[in-house]
Amino acid sequence: MSIIKHPKAHHYQPSPAEEARARGREAGYRGGYEEGYLKGRADYIVKSHAESFPFRQLHVLYVASGKGFPYSPMDEAISETLRSMVAQLTVIEPGQPINEVAYQVMPDLVLVLDGMFVPNEQLDDIRRQGIKTAVWLTDDPYYTDMTTENVGHYDYVFTLESNCIPYYQQLGCRQVHHLPFAAFPEYFKPSKTPAAQRRDVSFIGSAYWNRVEYLSPIMDRLMQHNTMINGIWWDRLPNYAAYQDRIEVNKWMGPVETAEAYNGSKIVINLHRSHEDDSVNNNTVKIPAASPNPRTFEISACATLQLTDARSDLAKLYTPGKEIETYTSPQELLDKIEYYLSHEQERREIALNALDRTLREHTYGHRLNQLLSVIFP
């Protein structure tokens, strides 16, 4: 009996190109799953936070900032939120005779945003008619040289900067309250669809000199990741030419476009401006900044991991390490970027916790309800 010998089977060895394609498919599948999981969880959190605030039988005359972009989205957020909270809302620009409009409509409250362009004598006239007046200051402490002249002409002063409270009290203001910024969920919210442009890291904001000096030492390594920067003045960077294909300069991004960038990013850097930069500030008394900027809330409302420089008020608003991440040096910023880019589950959980905290406590509905509760207890 003869034995038939079969030729030895050869184990197939894929080519390097085939291996690369396989790794790409696996990474794409994993990335798609992770993004889908994040969006599903985020959608559940959004649906579980239906805002409901007391409705007040009040007539509010709202005086917009009059500053145009980027203040106009804030004006819209405030006016649209107020419409659902009070019986009547009248909105005007600072160029109109505010005292004459107030005589005609006789509101319960004249609420002014920023107030830089509002004549103080008109405010005094309104107060003589027994109408309550309030201002929400948006640029403290960077323009206190100008707000110093205005705050005494209001019944109520609300400032986003807690360090300005004792300063205004020393000026004779009896009703001064801390009212931080917030998120407007109509603009800043998790996207339900995959982002058109994916980024590992984003930074959106103006290139103030403190930001240029802070990021310059780590820019080479930062740009080794899929990093995009948007904002004015970034051609100030010493090696700008090396990164200009990933820096969009001299463009103000609207809230919808900004939210799209946040949603398309794994990590968004937040780096506050300096209170000591005399090239852009009017803060002669050098009041330091303790309170976070509006991006703190807007990034969090998009369910994106935020890395921010730590300001002293931050821990009152978000829990570091659980709902937001902080850094105290350029090297720590870089280290945490690289850590969270390789630890997807931790990155995702912090981002979702940030969304939940924002919708629970940090929307314009929460802020305006607080403001109205102070004035009409």
Q: For residue 359, what is the enclosing H or E element?
A: helix 344-361
Structure tokens at 262: 């946040």
Distances (CA, A) of 114 to 106, 175, 221: 22, 17, 39
Give which of 207, 200, 213 is closest to 342, Cα–Cα. 200
Q: Over 60: is that where the pLDDT of 7 sits?
A: no
Structure tokens at 62: 């709202």
Report CA dihedral (309, 312, 314, 319) to the nearest 10 degrees: 100
Q: Over 80: is that where the pLDDT of 377 sits?
A: yes
pTM: 0.89
Q: What's the structural domain count of the chain?
A: 2
Domain match, 317 and 249 both: yes
| Confidence bin at 10 (pLDDT 50/70/90) | low
d(CA 175, CA 160): 14
Per-residue pLDDT tens digits for 119-177: 999 999 999 999 999 999 999 999 898 899 999 999 999 999 999 999 999 999 999 99
Q: Over 60: is that where the pLDDT of 27 sits?
A: no
Domain match, 236 and 161 both: no
Domain match, 208 and 356 both: yes
Q: What is the mean pLDDT of residues 204-218?
A: 96
- The torsion angles phi and psi of 231, rounded to 5 degrees, stand at 150, 170
Instruction: Give me the pLDDT at residue 18, please.
Output: 65
Domain match, 243 and 348 both: yes
Can you spell out the DSSP letters for 29-72? HHHHHHHHHHHHHHHHHHHT-------EEEEEEEE-----TTTH
Structure tokens at 336: 């945490």
Q: What is the mean pLDDT of residues 217-227?
A: 96
Residue 255 neighbours by CB distance under 10 Å: 19
Strand extents, DSSP E, the chain = 56-63, 86-92, 109-113, 132-137, 156-159, 176-178, 199-204, 227-231, 247-249, 265-270, 305-309, 325-327
d(CA 303, CA 297): 10
Domain match, 145 and 210 both: no
| Confidence bin at 20 (pLDDT 50/70/90) | low
Q: What is the mean pLDDT of residues 22-29?
A: 57
The identity of residue 53, as a single letter, is F
Q: Over 90: is that where the pLDDT of 25 sits?
A: no
- The torsion angles phi and psi of 264, rounded to 5 degrees, stand at -90, 5
Domain match, 369 and 309 both: no
Q: What is the mean pLDDT of residues 324-339?
A: 98
Per-residue pLDDT tens digits for 310-327: 899 999 999 999 999 999
Q: Determine the structural domain holding residue 352 and report its residue range.
A: 199-361
d(CA 255, CA 258): 5
Domain match, 151 and 203 both: no
Q: What is the mean pLDDT of residues 350-364?
A: 98
Domain match, 172 and 219 both: no
How many angstroms separate the first and last alpha carbons of the chain?
A: 105
| In a domain? residue 79 | yes
* DSSP 3-state of 121: helix
Domain match, 166 and 224 both: no
Domain match, 132 and 219 both: no
Instruction: Give me the pLDDT at residue 196, please.
Output: 79
Instruction: Give me the pLDDT at residue 11, please.
Output: 65
Domain match, 123 and 176 both: yes
Domain match, 166 and 205 both: no
Q: What is the CATH number of the domain that holds 160?
A: 3.40.50.2000
Q: Over 90: is that where the pLDDT of 273 sits?
A: no
| In a domain? residue 142 | yes
d(CA 330, CA 315): 20
| In a domain? residue 130 | yes
